Structure 1
């Protein structure tokens, strides 16, 4: 008998539609008759029925098939129903600001459904025209309107925008006066624009930078050049205009050549007047309070300070304020006296020079010591031993020079100088110190010394033998009573060897160790440090690397600069560069509900194990820390991950990871229960434990993963997939070996990511 599946046809619109649609399915079968028709809308679960209401925007996909009463399943068919209820959206590039050029308007329409069919526009109330690009060139505010229509017939609401064009620049006028003004002038700028309006007005005065504004004040004398222009909001720039503002409000200015300094001659005064406007008319002067006289030149020859006054008047009548100046004349030089002592001095001498002048006053006083160059000043310090020659004179502000004068200053103030033969290096013996004193003046009278802050004793020779840094102090006194400043020196004696320490760590290290040796010596200081590793020869140095695995012995000592040798010291350096070894065997699959012992082996040959940690991560991703040897209850199906980390005392760690799968045990039934022959198919039905049921909340078994003894289940039609979701599978008998009277069948399959395993032994009849 030939198995023939039903045939299902549909009635549905083929073009885009803006209205809801109803799809009718009609199934026919020439054999047993149609039992069921199923459909799915856009991939949802299949539903039995023959009428489908479609009301969703976009391309809707309908999948359908029928099953006849004999169980034949039709191959799935597909149709597409396209719906669009949303009109298009049109946008324009019309600028929001004014433009001084023609504007090309671009319209862009988009439609998320059937697509744009037409776009229409109108300018300034004219009829609508189809198109997406047009030119607007009329000056003023132009109103544009536009809309679009999609393929499904949805019409967009009309939109509008304004295109503003202005090609004419503004016009600016001013109120500048044409005649000269004696006062400052306020200038107002008035700009007008018939289009976009005035945006800015700028002005510049006398070539300066342009400034934005409409009011300015001009107060500079002379012919002032005012430049101005305006700009409208469309960017049109007015041609530059200029006006003149003429102002003369400044009186003349008169200056004199009267010298500011004192003069020792008669002075001829010249007056010079200038006027930037109408010009100078008269100049007047007066001397020492006399009446004003007209003139620009006169002679002043009276000794002392002469007061002159002067002013000018311009042709316009502007009168200058009276100015004054002083003409100072002095013909007599100053007189200088000094306080130099006549006797010898033991200390330095401060010499004061006092100069007086009855006229212009003392300008400078100069002095020279022992024939050196003259220096300006009125106070000097003489501190050179011997007879010092002081020369001096003064000059007044008029330039009168005093005759040169001289005085003597006699000084002896230098103490003796004492030196010692104290050595600068450390010594291992007692030191004999000799002191030698000299004096270039009256001669040495006494020499004194002290050792380590003891009382001073007179003498020039003594012995120092105390270990350490000995401080000696000494000085001398001459016959004139000058006392030398105390001098000091060090006598250094050292008999004690140095002390050396190392930074060798007490703990185990996982890397090579750099050893630092630090030697100290309270006396002469460390000269050399020596070290040896594991009994090798000694080597000089204070830093070395130990990299041998195990316990290393280091030896070291130092020698100071006086030759004292330290006793040998030792330390241990422990190195372990190998991580622990960890092993663990758990198997690949375990049954749900079982108890699994978690056992691993860890060992370390050198420093030993310091820390162990085992983390269990189940299918629910929760982490659990468990001790070695603990039993894990397998309460959830899925994949488990076991991570073990072991760290030794040197800080080296080893981490291993093991995974296994916990499967769900299932009960299987095989039909027929007795297998006869080796042709045809047999059926396996799976029953699952409590909490698991195919075809309810899950998607059902994955037929593509179902096997019996490694043989895959049949997947040749959609009916097998639907049956598998309910836990029913079919297998070809010819794929198995039925040579024995009984065969154990192991079923394996995945559902919702979990592995299900069941076994059944069936009877075989040949």
Structure 2
């Protein structure tokens, strides 16, 4: 007998028997047979105080009920409670039970009938939060002076809250305020029209937990008044609807407003014969009160805080007087400012000065600046100041020169023979009047001292410089890999590399900088470079260096050497060339372009002769249809002839190089050569130079997405444009 799963079936058996004589028994019917394959069903009922958003704000009573329909009947029910929705029902249900745990709880349950059918486990969420959240306003400063510059006072209020690890979570905050007038001792009327607590703001948990209190341009804010105290209290509401009472967290946060800066005064006195200054200061503030003073002096030339003779610092001091040691005689300035408890800083400072005896003046040589000098007459100047008290000022300077530091002489500073003995001058030209026999390699010393109007004479200050008017000597040599010297820039065909060697020498101040500058045309590239050769010691030391270039067939090297000594004298060699192309060459010797395109080839034209030259350059192609032409681009005096096939370059100076360009059009695919012939017409008539470049023309790149007829149309248009040109 069969019965479908999940069903309850009723079945009967009818039967009879027959004997050997063929007699049949009457048909009999069995008793009813019932088959139960249906699982029982359990329902749940929750009872408690409901809050918001599906939360309960009280303990919850859970009632489970089992129903087996027409089946065998419920046998027993089991349940369990956890917070992860993963427990196995193991507690036998005997009646309603209570859940008091504050959290998101899960009741998991199922029942079994009398024949053993077990219901699938069910789960019901029971969210309980009986406790209001906690919120607080972050501590405010006792005093605040924040202002937006318009006279409206404002400050930031920060808050936060917590609903515990098992709470439903805070949804909003509400903050109230009340205003207390410190001058009258009364609470004052606020924006709510009362002198009691007034609603200020309500913010969601997702909003920033910060608000500015006091800006008049924000409708949610109120004006904060000077000399008033503002008290704040906060309430919070959670997702379950629990609300924190305003009164559970006094004393409330508060801050008092003070935007008026304090006022101070200072006086200073000194006593004869003592290197001590006594200072007295005091301050006034009618609101938050003076918190401290800052007292400074400019004893070191800049304003600094002090330490008095008792070891107390004047930075943020609460003292109102002090004695201060000074290191020397002079006029000393003191200043004070007061800062109140709200942080208002007095401006401007209040000043006082005091006089302490006298000191001699100080003078120093300023020019000559350098240890080396490249002129026979040059500026000598000096400066000084008086440290006396009161400063009597510089009366005059004594300025002297010597070439041995033993015999000193005053400088004649005009054609009348006047000397730099006790003068008010601060500058003169040495070597222009009187002694003019300045010589290279001689060191000249200068010294100055000052006398103030009180007769105090300062110490001498000395400076020196050595004359060097000669430029450095440069020797340049160019050789090939076989040790042969390259003459006039021509390079034999068998050369593998070229070495440029430079030596620089200065017999007085010495080499400061020594550089080989070069331009290299090689391997389809045109590059500039420098070779630093280093310094050399004064009095005749050499600075040497060399640079070697691999020399391919079409290499062109243009170079010059520059050397500078420590006195600033410079020597620069003329530009020279080392090349197998004395007249002209292509910069690159192989190019690939697409059909219908064009390209510019750079041509370098040079004159390595000793006289001005005119050079004729002609070009021709191994494919007639290529039509190479010189572009009208270049410098100096030139002319394009023969429909662009000939370039005439005029008045090319010795060792001068110019650049020109050849335009190549591609009208048919293939590989061809562009040949160039250059001829000297003036400097060395009959001198001929040749060069060539390999041009490869191919089909343009494929155009994804274009039909073949579109590509053919582009090629036809390119050829048409070429023929028109």
Do both share a fold (TM > 0.5)?
no
TM-score (norm 2): 0.31
Which gives a bigger RCO, structure 1 or 2 (Cα 8 Å, sep 6+)? 2
More strand by share: 1
